[in-house]
Amino acid sequence: MYKFPKNFLWGAASSATQTEGAADEGGKAKNIWDYWFEIEPERFHQGIGPQETSDFYKQYKEDIERMKAINFNSFRTSISWTRLLPDGKHINQEAVRFYNDVINELLKNDIEPIINLYHFDMPLHFQEQGGWENREVVEAFRYYAEVVFDLFGDRVKKWTTFNEPIVPVEMGYLNHYHYPCVVDMKRAVVVAYQSMLASAKVIETYRQMDQEGEIGIILNLTPSYPRSDSKEDKRAATIADLFFNRSFLDPSVLGKYPEELVALLREHDLLPEIEEGDLELIADNTVDFLGVNYYQPRRVKEKETPVDAGSILPENFFDPYIWPERRMNPYRGWEIYEKGIYDIAMNIKNNYENIPWYVAENGMGVENEERFIDNSGMIQDDYRIEFYQEHLKWLHQGIEEGSNCFGYHVWTFMDNWSWLNAYKNRYGFYRVDIETKQRFLKKSGQWFAEIVKQNGF
């Protein structure tokens, strides 16, 4: 039997923008997703934007009962910056009531809340001032965090500063998949650096407030595997790891940037402006714990295709490699490689001081899941059960070998809105009818309830 440690956290993750809905209600101001949908709705799958999403804003009590019904002992969501501080300064009391109710309801049901502060949802008015490129926005984020800690810190004892901070960098400043749709590596590096500064400032503020809890960050780690043992392929994998993993992992946990990354950025004139005190701030404010989102590995080989001499992007340094033995989730286009979670566990143990960590997201998105509904109306998602089970086996091995993992959260509790993909791929333990907003338990939800009950399988 695969038995997990005592008090292991079992649950799921979500975010405010992806589940709350009520984007125009309760005094909430616009974030970049509200605005982008307003000006380019055709970019969103089936023209579905963030206004409705899964209606958690109105159904949170029933949803928390559903979590309890499948034995969750923990749940992570985020606070909407634009709901709590619509103008960035003044507190919206309607939002305070909502988040107080959600936190109290979770605790009443013995579900530990893990609250995240930033999940891709920059307030529009701050984006218009440059977003993370502007140091005044970094300070505004610190103020928002201070307000959040003051309001809810008496009950919430696990906080995270950011969810996947590399994603807005990669998707919004190296690609066109997040607003503001810029492609400029120099600006991307500034956004990454100042996001890291924002995280450190928030950690410093939290500790100054002495609230007797813990604060961490959630990173999506994609283990980088080279095509071969050749020097060139291994160098390609090292660079991919530096850009997409270690750019946040090292400063968050070790308090400093990898020297190889700094040298690489300097060589290509990409270093951001570093002000006096920045590096000390990062060094002095590392995280108490790490959340790791794991979906897929990254496989690379040496650069073999021509490079555009007129521009610089991470892909100038390596090419993607298709492993002949790979298994794919055809709906999402991602490789399924369960052992990656073990490799992450060992990497954290051996290279990151064996810091306490948990799997903050792991999941399988599937399109047109309704075709798997049986006569009773339940989706028979055996593929998802197998996906979770195989990952949990490798995670268990990592824990047995000494990695300090304290929990496993899936993505996600119920089907939710997923940025440009909207409801294209479904992930939840509960199916959501997007017309009626009704929820229906899937087979994987039943399975998960048993896993939690036995603390293993």
- What are the catalytic residues? 164, 361
Token digits for 252?
A: 């968050």
Contact 449, 399 (CB under 8 A): no
Closest C-alpha to 103, from 114, 90, 94: 114
Contact 264, 242 (CB under 8 A): yes
Cα distance between residue 35 and residue 177, in whole Å = 14
Q: Which helix (H) or strand (E) holds 195?
A: helix 185-209
Token digits for 266?
A: 């300097």
Give, in order, the Cα–Cα distances in Å from 36 to each of 14, 84, 117, 262, 422: 21, 20, 21, 34, 13
Contact 186, 196 (CB under 8 A): no
Which residue reads 């990898």 in tokens?
Answer: 258
Cα distance between residue 55 and residue 435, in whole Å = 11
Q: Which residues of 383-422 are buried (b: 16+ CB within 10 A; e: fewer)?
A: ebbebbeebbebbbbbbeeebbbbbbbbbbbbbbbbbbbb
Which residue reads 């993993």 in tokens?
Answer: 245
Q: Which helix (H) or strand (E) holds 82?
A: helix 81-84
Contact 172, 181 (CB under 8 A): yes
Helix, strand, or coil (residue 435): coil
Give, in order, the Cα–Cα distances in Å from 28 to each of 98, 141, 253, 367: 12, 17, 34, 31
